[in-house]
Structure 1
Amino acid sequence: MLLKNAKLGIAPLTWTNDDKPEIGKENTFAQCLSEMALAGYEGCEIGSQFPKDIETLKFELELRGLRIANQWFSFTATCDTVSAVQEAFLKHIRFLKALGTNIVGGGEFGRSIVALESVPIVNETQPSRPILTAAEWKTFAERIEALGKIAYNEGMTLCFHHHMGTCVETVEETERLLNDCDSKYVSLNYDSGHFYFAGANPLSALKKFVTRVSHVHLKNVRPEVLATVKTQKLSFLAAVMAGIFTIPGDSAGAIDFKELFYVLDAIKNSGTDHNSYSNWLIVEAEQDPRKAHPLKTALSARAYLKETLGH
């Protein structure tokens, strides 16, 4: 059995899309939660359709035996001071804390091209995404660490998510940020699919960063679609709609998740009586739910995890 202490969850992006709300709008919050539970997951991340009232959300979760793992926070440290976002960030992490999680994950969406549907997500000759100057990077990293301190003082862990179309997309940029931020305040939300999309080897990236990983997104990539994204110069959202992402275990995907699980299983967690990753593994594969049936997709991914992990 691998990763016997890890918690298995799924993101609501299988049913809906926060970046393009019209996608999956027919899939209700209640349907989403019920199908997550039916598929055998322990928990989930929070989507845009989820209730904002804590007690209402708690009731719906407890009814189905689910827990909250995380809710995305869009950092804007390339644009905004810490004081400008502190109130919103504190409200966000206290909401999550009240729901019983200690993780707050998100990526830097200041100046990102993720939502720009006319801009190619991959431009190998002249990137359209933000490339920071040395001075801009210093300010950015200092602000992320400061937000990490705020989270730490609230008993939460800031898990930074590298993401296509942002200033932290590559392995090198991820490494630079982690090196510039104290591990006490900033950890990594590792995403296998975003590293592959960025041209990296997800296994090598995980080995490099494994001691800083506090949250994991299990995302697969279809290489044939990736080739189309490059040749047709598709935007990020167009790439999603074209099927760039898929679930672990899909034969059309390129990533060997079992190798990733072996690496996570070998982490030495200080102060524990086991030696493997014990936080959340989140199936996250945003797709067009009209093409990839949400419940069927969730069931298929869960079956693969059970076969591969042994639980």
Structure 2
Amino acid sequence: MSVRLGINPLTWTNDDMPSLGGDTPLEVCLAEGKQAGFSGFELGHKFPRDPAVLGPILESHGLALVSGWYSSELLTRSAEEEIEALKPHLHLLKSLGAKVMVFCEVTHCVHGQREVSLSHSPSMSEAEWQTFLPRLNQVADYCLGQGVQIAYHHHLGTVIETEAEIARLMAETNPAVGLLLDSGHLVGAGGDAIAAQKQYAERIVHVHCKDIRKEVLADARNRDLSFLEGVLNGMFTVPGDGFIDYATLFQGLRDSGYEGWVVVEAEQDPAVAHPLTYARLGCDNLKRFCAEAGLQITE
């Protein structure tokens, strides 16, 4: 039983708010991520999307491709249309050895809108659930048949955010729909990441480690701020730098036999939170949590 340690480029440059780290070259992200101790990267908007181009870049840094975010629109297009839309992304992941696809339904989402508070997160009507679930199952079956499993990302500001929404998603989809457990997004939505890990252990195929500064989350909720305002105020940080109990979470991953990537995905303003400093802190803390839990790390 072993895990691999990866990082998302959000530490250096932000996809939802491109002005954050906008001048930071991809080369700096990769070099510093490797220097911090990570074995792989998820995709970001500065990554080439041609495997023949990206592959040698990652290889030159001794890095693997972990996965990459995909924005689905299954509430407004058919499963067949979604499959056609995701094929280039699937090809990139498959070609470079990634085994999971970070997958999130973005219809009606508000997490990229700085002026829309998190209290206005969307939810699906019963009719939309009945549309969404069979389409998601069909897309997941296709991707799994291609050797890449969907890792559904519950996410603040989207239609799958709360514990109840995750529970229905898991109850009414087939096992081809894997779950991406994101501790920060779940706790930020008022949920319990440790309980979710235990409940959905057999479905968890990918893990994002995003910690939360409790007082900043409370302030964001009290003042009804948006997701992006929360980011700018420092709501998120690397694992071990907030209040989430990662020691217990990692013990649960060990007990469940989890094997896959654990990924630091902790968006902050890089002008405030020095990227290499926080990347190192995140990697060092992940290594400590793994050692304490008895999880072996594959370099």
TM-score normalised by L of structure 2: 0.95
Query: What residue is the counterpart of 1:270 in the other structure?
Result: none
- TM-aligned CA deviation for residue 211 of structure 1: 1.1
Query: What residue is the counterpart of 1:222 in the other structure?
Result: 213
List runs of 5+ in structure 2 lacking aligned partners: 292-296
Q: What amino acid is aligned across from residue 26 of structure 1 in structure 2? A: D
Give the match's secondary structure for 1:73: strand
Query: What residue is the counterpart of 1:198 in the other structure?
Result: 189
Identify which of 189, 206, 223 aligns with 1:232.
223
Identify which of 254, 260, 268 aligns with 1:265.
254
- TM-aligned CA deviation for residue 83 of structure 1: 2.6
Query: What residue is the counterpart of 1:30 in the other structure?
Result: 27
User: 2:19 aligned with 1:19, yes or no?
Assistant: no
- Check whether the contact 2:82–2:139 (CA below 8 A) recurs between aligned residues: no
Q: What amino acid is aligned across from residue 220 of structure 2 in structure 1? A: V
Query: What residue is the counterpart of 2:263 in the other structure?
Result: 282
Provide the rounded CA distance (Å) in 2 between the counterparts of 1:38 and 1:131.
Answer: 41
Q: What amino acid is aligned across from residue 163 of structure 2 in structure 1? A: V
Provide the rounded CA distance (Å) in 2 between the counterparts of 1:57 and 1:89.
Answer: 18
Query: What residue is the counterpart of 2:149 in the other structure?
Result: 157
Q: Note the 1:92-111 alignment, pairs <5 A.
A: 92-111=89-108
What whole-Å deviation, never above 9, does each CA across 1:80-124 have from its counterpart, x for those lacking one?
Answer: 222332212122111110011121112111111112222111x2x
Query: What residue is the counterpart of 1:174 in the other structure?
Result: 166
- Check whether the contact 2:50–2:92 (CA below 8 A) recurs between aligned residues: no
Moved more, 220-229 or 52-61: 52-61
What whole-Å deviation, never above 9, does each CA across 1:150-203 have from its counterpart, x for those lacking one?
Answer: 1012111011010111111011111101111111x2010110001100001111
Q: What amino acid is aligned across from residue 178 of structure 1 in structure 2? A: M
- Check whether the contact 2:6–2:264 (CA below 8 A) recurs between aligned residues: yes
- TM-aligned CA deviation for residue 244 of structure 1: 0.9
Provide the rounded CA distance (Å) in 1 between the counterparts of 2:123 and 2:34.
Answer: 41
What whole-Å deviation, never above 9, does each CA across 1:7-65 have from its counterpart, x for those lacking one?
Answer: 11111000011111111012110000001111111101011001222122111111111
Query: What residue is the counterpart of 1:89 in the other structure?
Result: 86
Provide the rounded CA distance (Å) in 2 between the counterparts of 1:50 and 1:9.
Answer: 16
Identify which of 290, 294, 297 aligns with 1:309.
290
Identify which of 30, 45, 50 aligns with 2:47.
50
Query: What residue is the counterpart of 1:64 in the other structure?
Result: 61
- Check whether the contact 2:179–2:205 (CA below 8 A) recurs between aligned residues: yes
Provide the rounded CA distance (Å) in 2 between the counterparts of 1:219 and 1:234.
Answer: 19
Provide the rounded CA distance (Å) in 1 between the counterparts of 2:167 and 2:5.
Answer: 26
Percent sequence identity over aligned pairs: 38
Provide the rounded CA distance (Å) in 1 between the counterparts of 2:93 and 2:290.
Answer: 28
Q: What amino acid is aligned across from residue 182 of structure 1 in structure 2? A: N
- TM-aligned CA deviation for residue 231 of structure 1: 2.1
Identify which of 125, 135, 140 aligns with 1:143.
135
Provide the rounded CA distance (Å) in 1 between the counterparts of 2:288 and 2:80.
Answer: 47
Number of aligned residues: 292
- Check whether the contact 1:39–1:299 (CA below 8 A) recurs between aligned residues: yes
User: 2:244 aligned with 1:255, yes or no?
Assistant: yes
Give the match's secondary structure for 2:155: coil
Provide the rounded CA distance (Å) in 1 between the counterparts of 2:151 and 2:284.
Answer: 27
What whole-Å deviation, never above 9, does each CA across 1:236-273 have from its counterpart, x for those lacking one?
Answer: 111111111101111xx110101000000011xxxxxx
